[in-house]
Amino acid sequence: MSKIQRLDATQDDFNARLDALLSRETDTGADVQHIVADILEQVKLRGDAALCEYTARFDGWECTSGNIEIPRARMAEAWNAVSAEDRDALELASARIRAYHEHQKQENWEYTDDAGLTLGQIITPLDSVGLYVPGGKAAYPSSVLMNAIPAHVAGVSEIIMVVPTPDGELNELVLAAAYLCGVSRAFAVGGAQAVAALAYGTESVPSVDKIVGPGNKFVAAAKRQVFGTCGIDMIAGPSEIVVVADGGHPEWLAADFLSQAEHDEAAQSIFISTDEALIDAVAIAVERHLAVLPRAAIARSSVETHGALILVPDLDTAADVVNHIAPEHLELALENPDVLLPKIRHAGAIFAGHFVPEALGDYVAGPNHVLPTNRTARFSSALGVYDFTKRSSLIRATRKAVATVGPAAAHLAHREGLQAHALSVELRLKDTERD
């Protein structure tokens, strides 16, 4: 029988046990922070030389300023080399992701108020972004699509990709995806050193305005430390899924439960149900899947260390538990998910119904799979077009408008002891008085 932890929401110690389960350390131990700080400093000071030294140490191949870049021609070569089935799948995913993100585009707007001021907002894309694509335990062409396409839809002119290449081996499907979705330039580097290169620039790698995309704990710590030099999307931790079910096929539910566990030993999978017999059946089905899955060792470590099977008395309690967890992925495997949906306040992505496994969202549904983790869905959202744009406020004022609102502005400036502020308004007020 599985060693997955079981919790009962009716027990007095439930909240304490749930909080203990959620208190995983994901990326920010002092040892990691110190290592990363040194890497960032060295790349900032020594550019390509430091970047290639770390690449040789961590990825096991000798890079130079001459071979660190992956040319567009090499991406095109990969696109032509992958199978027709690969190209068809990438094109389908790309089209669906693009169509969804087109709906996120924002328009400029203006309005004129009763005082005579015209106020508005102007949307402009970032000039350049850096996409971090994981390439350690697995390679993820889907991450290329999910990061590059919304940037492209937003109008970003330069999209730079970095991807680790252990032992110097390039992943053809990752390069094919980069070619398809318009990556401008790509570099065969990863880890904290790649984040440093994107943030500060080197002789070969240009600095960018924002860095997006998930990575390991060193990448997450590096993104945290370079924020301010450039923007970042979020601090992405290990993947998470919560499945809430009131019935359904145990084999399906167990596969959904394991879908994120196979990513990483630090990933977290939680199954919630009002039906104890269903929980038992899912636990048995989990064992059957683990007996045959290629990444079973990773998945087992994940679910036995960080996973849980939770019994709740009713779906209202399930919603309360979900909102406390604020999961990256939430499956509502319910006969009528719309009953529970209005009660869900915190989740990165919600999959409603029995026929929408999380994996559809990872690849072809359309919404972005770069999502807030580690309870940050309480205040953060999925990556989207809005992450690649800026909003500038616009203010226009007539002489009449200054006469109407200017006295209050001058008064507040005086009250704050900022006489030059006040003077700039009062000079204009004098001018309007002569009319």
For residue range 77-123, list pLDDT tens digits in order.
999 999 999 999 999 999 999 999 999 999 999 999 999 999 999 99
For residue 431, what pLDDT band results from cuts at 50, 70 and 90? confident
Measured between alpha carbons, how far is 1 from 294 in angstroms, rounded to an integer?
A: 20
Return the exposure string of 286-322: e unless at least 16 CB atoms fall within 10 Å of the residue's CB, then b: beebbeebebeebbbbbbebbbbbbbbeebebbbebb
Q: What is the pLDDT of residues 148-164, one digit of tens each?
A: 999 999 999 999 999 99
Report d(CA 282, CA 309) in Å as an integer: 9
Q: Is 53 a catalytic residue?
A: no
30-115+128-234 to CATH, choices 3.40.50.1980, 3.10.20.30, 2.30.30.40, 1.20.1260.10: 3.40.50.1980
The sign of the torsion formed by the CA atoms of 218, 233, 370, 59 equals: negative
Q: What's this model's pTM, rounded to 2 decimal places?
A: 0.94
pLDDT for position 1: 54
Output the average pLDDT for the chain. 95
Task: Judge whether 276 counts as a catalytic residue.
Answer: no
- pLDDT, residue 94, reads 98
CA distance 326 to 372: 9
Distance from C-alpha of 21 to C-alpha of 23, rounded to nearest angstrom:
6
The DSSP letter of residue 242 is: E
Residue 192 pLDDT > 70: yes
Place of tokens 């994940």: 302
C-alpha distance from residue 56 to each of 22, 161, 174, 220, 233 (Å): 36, 19, 21, 21, 28
The lowest-confidence range among 49-63, 130-144, 376-390 is 130-144
pLDDT in tens, 372-392: 999 999 999 999 999 999 999
Can you tell me the mean pLDDT for 10-32?
86
Q: Which of 152, 263, 329, 346 is catalytic?
A: 329
Please indicate whether the domains covering 30-115+128-234 and 237-379 agree at the CATH topology level: yes
The residue ranges of every structural domain in the chain are: 30-115+128-234, 237-379, 397-433
Q: What topology does CATH give the domain 237-379?
A: Rossmann fold (3.40.50)
Per-residue model confidence (pLDDT) at position 27: 55
Q: Which residue in 328, 331, 354, 358 is the catalytic one?
A: 328
The answer on pLDDT for 341 being more than 70 is yes
Mean pLDDT across 190-196: 97
